[in-house]
Structure 1
């Protein structure tokens, strides 16, 4: 089968995140199963990647930026892709590629989360209003009758709220790359260490984590904060940290390799995600697999990936988050208990199961 994927980024993109991990883990397995997979995506604004290349057996075609890629998609399809593919995967990241308007091929739409107010964190007006309007009204209208895969129950509920039929939305959780003999669980850092790992975007609110860290230090003077990742807000965040009183306690690492990521997830005492909302959180589950519990606000997605009181804690306010972090750092027996629970929780997620469920949907749509 020849599969065409429309996604706004690929794994080599500077802003690649959990969404890219999700689709590329599937694509690699499809290639291994004998399918031909092509990904059409945007160029990277920070590094000039090749317009066409192949890695992990996947054909990559890059055109346009984060906005114009949506205009290039139908042009490329009609000029180069038409009659060459059997199935389309259309990935919605705030807005979809509107493939029903230019292709009659069977298709599946992936939605990681409904962005909602995130548009107003990330984009200036009028772009924020346009994005909000398109996602709330245009997207459900154009995709009426199109099968949708949601990454969590939270995302499915949000899709139903904006007009999708419940019967057309299937929840398929992401897998994770689990520890093995070569990248197993390591001994924790000697100092209480908090970890944020992910993109540094406005809606992720990593600056809030930096701000409350001074309050964490009042009860845990040996504590350290490690921030791994990059994004549009990274430069500003680095400046805040370097000018701050606790710059020697906060380490901003930038993008990290897979081996570095595994080491950080394994050795940190606690994973913290202060985001306003997620579709799920692969990083939370990966941290859990290494015995690292998580703390986040009680927001969509994260309130589903974190089992409150079992694999981590969910906070209702900034003050409450400080209290939740302090509890885990200072209560060793509680920390060890939820660490064990987190490992057990993470065991049920694997990419093979995810791929099987998605492929079953694809096969049913091609009948």
Structure 2
């Protein structure tokens, strides 16, 4: 089959994250099974409009604001050639592919954005976005099969009216960590990995650093990733009096990312919502445990509470748990071993097989 993924970004995009990794891993698995795959996504600096990477064709057009309509129009006009199946990746908004093709459409949802709309788009824009996601999309794709990455997201989709029997859960996998020579930092070091956007709530990690530094004044925080909330976070660190202890690394390559994860004592994942939390497994590969919010959804499956990391209910508990882990070496070591074991329990090969089975049947 020729399979078209409609996704707003790709992994080379500076704003790309775990959901883009998932899409491209699934695409690679389909290539290995003999299918043709095209990924339609938004343009960004430094990437050509049309290229083939590892057998996957990337077609980039439009911006992150008009990518949805642009992609739908190109599909209607058959600009991608003959397409046998469409994977409509719904990151809040669908691509409305059901309106422009008679081919089968599978909807891929990482998580439901109920809590994020008012944070990222306050006012009318956010309300319209949530109406499209919660009311329009479930009805538009009422005959389509869904794939999501966690049981938490599956449950939220059923709350929106998607029939449970049409939803298949295909978890994220974990890639073997590249070999790095970096050792654990001699002084306390926290790490945050992800896009710099409001709903990732990186400010909470900065708050945790402030608390840790009361006892360990040499503690530092590595912020890995880029995004449009960068300047606001820098201002927040300055206002908190820790700008000299917060290092903004921006977008880094895979090896550097794993060096920073191996260097850290604790990874903080203060995100408002996560479909899974791919970074949890990446940190776990270096025996670095994660503290995250239990209310984020997928984190309750990517983290085994008090076995491979810690799940907390609120901001105060997150700060307290980070401080406790930093101060308690045996507890942190125990969770680190659990995080390593947990990271080995999910593989991309298994996820690719499950995903391909959904599309092929």
Q: Deviations over 1:180-233 (max 9, x none)?
A: xx5157521111111001101100111222133211211332321111101110
Name which of 88, 99, 116 aligns with 1:101. 99
Q: Classify the secondary structure of the residue corresponding to 2:130.
A: helix
Deviates more, 1:162-171 or 1:35-44: 35-44
Q: 1:79 to 1:323 in 2, by over 3 A?
A: same
Q: Does the alignment pair 1:12 with 2:8? A: no
Q: Classify the secondary structure of the residue corresponding to 1:230.
A: coil
What are the within-5 Å matches in structure 2 for residues 287-302 of structure 1?
Answer: 287-299=283-295, 300-302=297-299
Q: Classify the secondary structure of the residue corresponding to 1:334.
A: helix
Q: Does the alignment pair 1:310 with 2:310? A: no
Q: Classify the secondary structure of the residue corresponding to 2:43.
A: coil
Q: Does the alignment pair 1:27 with 2:27? A: yes
Structure 1 residue 59, shift from structure 2 partner: 1.2
For 1:339 and 1:213, locate their aligned partners in 2 and report how far apart those are by CA, in whole Å: 20
Q: Does the alignment pair 1:38 with 2:34? A: no
Structure 1 residue 41, shift from structure 2 partner: 1.1
Q: Classify the secondary structure of the residue corresponding to 1:248.
A: helix
Count of residues in correspondence between the two structures = 360
The 4+ residue runs of structure 1 with deviation greater than 3 A are: none
Q: Deviations over 1:114-142 (max 9, x none)?
A: 00120111124322111100011001111
For 2:213 and 2:80, locate their aligned partners in 1 and report how far apart those are by CA, in whole Å: 59
For 1:199 and 1:334, locate their aligned partners in 2 and report how far apart those are by CA, in whole Å: 29
Q: Which residue number in structure 1 is paired with residue 255 of structure 2?
A: 259
Task: Tell whether the 8 Å contact from 2:174 to 2:281 is kept in structure 1 after alignment.
Answer: yes
Q: Does the alignment pair 1:363 with 2:360? A: yes
For 1:34 and 1:183, locate their aligned partners in 2 and report how far apart those are by CA, in whole Å: 31
Q: Which residue number in structure 2 is paired with residue 183 of structure 1?
A: 179
TM-score by length of 2: 0.95
Task: Tell whether the 8 Å contact from 2:5 to 2:38 is kept in structure 1 after alignment.
Answer: yes
For 1:50 and 1:98, locate their aligned partners in 2 and report how far apart those are by CA, in whole Å: 25
Task: Tell whether the 8 Å contact from 1:117 to 1:132 is kept in structure 2 after alignment.
Answer: no
Q: Which residue number in structure 2 is paired with residue 218 of structure 1?
A: 214
Structure 1 residue 285, shift from structure 2 partner: 1.3
Q: 1:160 to 1:185 in 2, by over 3 A?
A: farther
For 2:243 and 2:65, locate their aligned partners in 1 and report how far apart those are by CA, in whole Å: 36
Q: Which residue number in structure 2 is paired with residue 232 of structure 1?
A: 228
For 1:187 and 1:128, locate their aligned partners in 2 and report how far apart those are by CA, in whole Å: 44
For 1:124 and 1:43, locate their aligned partners in 2 and report how far apart those are by CA, in whole Å: 26
Structure 1 spans left out of the alignment, 5+ residues: none
Structure 1 residue 145, shift from structure 2 partner: 2.1
Q: Does the alignment pair 1:169 with 2:167? A: yes
How much is the aligned-residue C-alpha RMSD, in angstroms? 1.6
Q: Classify the secondary structure of the residue corresponding to 1:80.
A: coil
Q: 1:349 to 1:184 in 2, by over 3 A?
A: farther
Q: Which residue number in structure 2 is paired with residue 281 of structure 1?
A: 277
Structure 1 residue 48, shift from structure 2 partner: 5.5
Structure 1 residue 89, shift from structure 2 partner: 0.9
Structure 1 residue 33, shift from structure 2 partner: 3.4
Name which of 126, 129, 136 aligns with 2:127. 129
Structure 1 residue 234, shift from structure 2 partner: 0.9
Structure 1 residue 241, shift from structure 2 partner: 2.7
Structure 1 residue 332, shift from structure 2 partner: 1.1
For 2:63 and 2:46, locate their aligned partners in 1 and report how far apart those are by CA, in whole Å: 12
Structure 2 spans left out of the alignment, 5+ residues: none
Task: Tell whether the 8 Å contact from 1:155 to 1:279 is kept in structure 2 after alignment.
Answer: yes
For 1:273 and 1:237, locate their aligned partners in 2 and report how far apart those are by CA, in whole Å: 15
Structure 1 residue 244, shift from structure 2 partner: 4.7
Q: Deviations over 1:161-185 (max 9, x none)?
A: 0101110001100111123xx5157
